Structure 1
């Protein structure tokens, strides 16, 4: 008969081993992150969560059955191989869905997660030095989270309009409003903007902002003290309750029950509840059925990803905000276009790209160049898979305005031979293809022709700035093609 460690039974053990197990799990993830591409790691492994130790088995939770099955099939053997090399106690790792875990195991996970959150908070409070100085510089340059600083386009117009009406005491479409969308599209900004607008207008209604993780930590602390009355009083006294990142407590039965009772209490006395999450209520598979029904009974509004023009405005505004404290930090149009073309994600990723450029240049006393911008974006996005020969040829065609037929032809004029040599050089440098394979893609040329082009350009780069610039232009065009999903 399998015996699950309950929170009371595991308290002493958690102090000496559970945090160690969590540390080993983080090390396992770090090794996997180094072995696997960023996109694959983020999709299948990055969202796995450490749960607890149950009878010598380290239980890890997947968000849904699809992720569980994929991890078990493709990665669990490697996970246990790395784990066994680090764990002297001979434990193994198992992967399950949150919904499949027993109630007492999920409660233990909530305790462990609360402990981790407390440790992180303590570490942040104790941190100082250059990194803290940098974080202060960037955060203070980010501006206030108000409606005035919130960039609006078709992707978020409905959400912003509803948020304004809530802040201005106008009738909301429902007592429970649920904003959902990909991480980083501005949902947190929207909640803070509602609170800031109410304060600016002198609204007599009380507004309370709380992340779901903060709610979870406060609830678990209350359970430990056997008294959650302070948390209930704080939440239920709010006229406008703003809860951020609901997905943080999905799958946590006890926490969700407490959450449900509190939002029902606020709504029952005529208050307004505004919630954000990364997915719609129906897509949060481990959400408690009663909570899901409550949310589906309100209004759900998607916050979409920004279009190209909105992304460009985000980059410019973030750069200008940093420039207010660091006037020497300037991103010209070419730098802005480069960031927008490469970073296809939401506003938070764009802000991260600007901060990475600032950190690598102005913050350390260096001027901003396109090479710095390109390098900063590459660091943020992680390693991409090697380009194909076709992608290299397409990038060369775009930069030099030549055709595929030109690159594959026997023509030897400089207008054709020069870009052809650059394309062959970059195929050798960036792809995994051999010299004979590259030659076949350029009009069935002999491998010695490719080798000549490679060696010639390697020799000339040290003395020819124009050549270096042209190669860099084609490399950036290749990255743009890859970022856009071009095959």
Structure 2
């Protein structure tokens, strides 16, 4: 099992991962540099670094960057990243087989070891004490260890005094949630990597959206990239707000859009949602898809599921085809004008 962990870790660390050094991450990055350079066998505190902070604050990103730099400096480094799920075999093993002894021998083969989300793993004192002994043994063998947690050790009531003391013996760094300026900086950096150009109002609105974590902002950028193929200049704030609107923020439903479009074109909702390629149904269906996506902000996957289990690609193609037909069909533009006027009162609730 641990061979799989090491292979997965090595692959992740060899892959290029852009890194944005925000002010909130600087001390944590310096701590990882200290851990990487630790070579004094008498200074065991230098072998353990604990990064704590809220979900999505960048703890894992900092750890991966530190391990990656260690691998670049010394090609023969043996790193590993452990997640809570990686402990399943150990914790479910028969105690009579001395699983902890085996686990210690295997993990001690690493030069640097990251243990992610330790506070999610430990649920009882007996396990906490066992992990404390495990840490002692690894540090005695000069294994450098980085641990991530959502709370500092002293704020984890499930930890035994022994484990809390052991973690406090290392260097503890608290990563704060990103400030508004840092979130804007991260969005500018991420948009540049994604070949997107965000206007200031779009960037500022995105930076204010909960939960405001780096992970959440990265997810928003990925969504923009999928909806606005790069290179793209994104300057329509309302379109971005519609894209990220929650169902509770939408006054329009897919069913309501389909009903209004069906009535306008003189077809049934059933015919709109069917797989028929008949022209009389295809153009109204394309119109409904376009309005659902661009007017009401539904994701293409949601639209495809509603209209006959179509794929994201199929919906995107339908929207483009409708725009092409619209450009050369005055009567279709009149249909669309009436639909938009009818739907205007039911559009997105104010997101700002």
Structure-1-length-normalised TM-score: 0.44
- Does residue 280 (structure 1) correspond to residue 152 (structure 2)? The answer is yes
Match of 1:167 in 2: 36
- Identify the residue that residue 158 of structure 1 maps to in structure 2: 27
Task: Quote how far apart the aligned CAs of 1:187 are.
Answer: 0.5
Distance 2:96 2:197 in 1: 53
Instruction: Confirm whether residue 218 of structure 1 aligns to residue 89 of structure 2.
Output: yes
User: For 2:71, what is the secondary structure of its paired residue?
Assistant: helix
Distance 1:259 1:170 in 2: 23
| In 2, Cα distance between equivalents of 1:333 and 1:178 | 36
Q: Please state whether the residue corresponding to 2:106 is helix, strand or coil.
A: helix
Aligned-residue Cα RMSD (Å) equals 3.6
Distance 1:224 1:314 in 2: 47
For these two proteins, the number of residue pairs brought into alignment is: 243
Distance change >3 Å, CA 368–CA 267, structure 1 → 2: same
Sort the Cα spacing of 1:368 and 1:217 in 2 relative to 1 into closer, same or farther, 3 A.
farther
Residue in 2 that maps onto 1:245: 117
Aligned partner of 2:273 in structure 1 is: none
How far apart are 1:261 and its partner, in Å?
A: 2.2
User: Judging changes above 3 Å, is the alpha-carbon distance between structure 1 residues 289 and 375 closer, same or farther for their aligned structure 2 residues?
Assistant: farther
Pair 1:475 & 2:350 matched: yes
Indicate how the Cα distance of structure 1 residues 202 and 284 shifts in structure 2: closer, same or farther if over 3 A, else same. Answer: same
> 2:156, 2:16 → 1: CA distance?
30
Partner SS for 1:300: strand
Matches for 1:71-470 after TM superposition, within 5 Å: 144-145=16-17, 149-153=19-23, 155-169=24-38, 174-202=46-74, 204-214=76-86, 216-223=87-94, 226=97, 228=99, 229-323=101-195, 330-343=197-210, 345-362=212-229, 369-379=236-246, 383=248, 462=341
Which secondary structure does the structure 2 equivalent of 1:462 belong to? Answer: helix
Report deviation, 1:291: 0.9
Distance 1:368 1:259, change over 3 A: farther
Q: 1:251, 1:296 → 2: CA distance?
A: 19
Residues 430-457 of structure 1: CA deviation (Å, up to 9, x unaligned): xxxxxxxxxxxxxxxxxxxxxxxxxxxx
Give the structure 1 partner of residue 335 of structure 2: none
CA shift at 1:144, angstroms? 3.5
Offset at residue 314 of structure 1 (A):
1.4
Q: Is the 8 A contact 2:25 2:62 kept in 1?
A: no
Q: Offset of 1:188 from its aligned partner?
A: 0.5
Distance 1:221 1:283, change over 3 A: same
Unaligned segments of structure 2, at least 5 residues: 1-11, 250-337
The structure-2 alpha-carbon separation of the partners of 1:357 and 1:224, relative to structure 1 and needing over 3 Å to count, comes to farther
Q: Deviations over 1:262-291 (max 9, x none)?
A: 211111233322111000111111112221
* Separation in 2, partners of 1:257, 1:210: 18
C-alpha contact 2:36 2:66 (8 A) present in aligned 1? yes
- d(CA) in 2 for partners of 1:254, 1:372: 53
User: Tell me, what secondary structure is at the counterpart of 1:164?
Assistant: helix
Cα distance in 2 between the residues matched to 1:330 and 1:227: 57
Residue 206 of structure 1 and its aligned partner are, at CA, apart by: 3.0
Decide whether aligned partners of structure 1 residues 176 and 306 sit closer, same or farther in structure 2, where only a CA change above 3 A counts. Answer: same
Q: Map Cα deviations across residues 409-447 of structure 1 (whole Å, 9 max, x no partner).
A: xxxxxxxxxxxxxxxxxxxxxxxxxxxxxxxxxxxxxxx
Find the residue that maps to 2:154 and give its secondary structure: coil
Partner of 2:304: none
Distance in 2, Cα, partners of 1:304 & 1:343: 15
Contact 1:179–1:276 at 8 Å: present in 2 too? yes
CA deviation string 1:23-78 (max 9, x = no partner): xxxxxxxxxxxxxxxxxxxxxxxxxxxxxxxxxxxxxxxxxxxxxxxxxxxxxxxx
Deviations 1:146-192 (A, max 9, x none): xx613221x22211111123234577863322110001111001111
**How far does residue 223 in structure 1 lie from its aligned partner after superposition?**
3.6
**Residue 230 (structure 1) shift:** 4.3
For residues 361 and 286 of structure 1, what CA distance do their matches in structure 2 show?
46
Gaps of 5+ in 1: 1-139, 324-328, 385-458, 480-487
Question: CA 1:265 to 1:338, structure 2 compared with 1: closer, same or farther past 3 Å?
Answer: same
Which structure has the higher relative contact order (CA within 8 Å, separation 6+)? 2
Q: CA deviation at 1:356?
A: 3.1
